[in-house]
Structure 1
Amino acid sequence: MTPETVIDILREALWMIVMLSSVIIGPGLVVGLIVSTFQAATQINEQTLSFLPRLLVTLIVIIVAGPWMLTQLLDHAHRLISSIPYLIG
């Protein structure tokens, strides 16, 4: 196994991490920004007002995008496992 191969495997794994985490974190960031803007405009300083919508959006995104994320992760693992003979030999 060459260093280039190891770097390619790590690059693919890191890209998978970024892609799957951005699907979950992105909508939460957008909702947090909207709620923070609303709080600044109305001068409401309630902590649960910013936490609860982000939590709900994150749970909804995990429920909706969960099967796609699992499929991506399983496909990546399958590609890695099936390429072991080529990587070693």
Structure 2
Amino acid sequence: MKVAPERIEETILALVAERGPGRTICPSEAARAIAGDHPDQWSRLMGPVRQVAVRLMKQGRIVIRRKGRPVDPDDFRGVYRISGPEEASF
């Protein structure tokens, strides 16, 4: 499934805004919102979602968190969550 990065960006930002301050989303929520609930579809979007999330963090539009703390967008592994930029505490 090919999805434009702009669509992924819009989805991430909309979900973060909907969730509200102090709350996070899982990147799989963005993938599922685009591709549906079947794992064969949304799991293919996890790489592109991560790439867009990294770009958005570098632009200061979101914060990628691991274990509740902001990460270095160029060097993080494992499970992560996404929050709005107002939640950053670097």
Q: What TM-score do the two structures reach when normalised by structure 2? A: 0.33
Larger helix proportion of the pair: 1
Relative contact order: is structure 1 or structure 2 higher (C-alpha 8 Å, sep ≥ 6)? 1
Larger strand proportion of the pair: 2
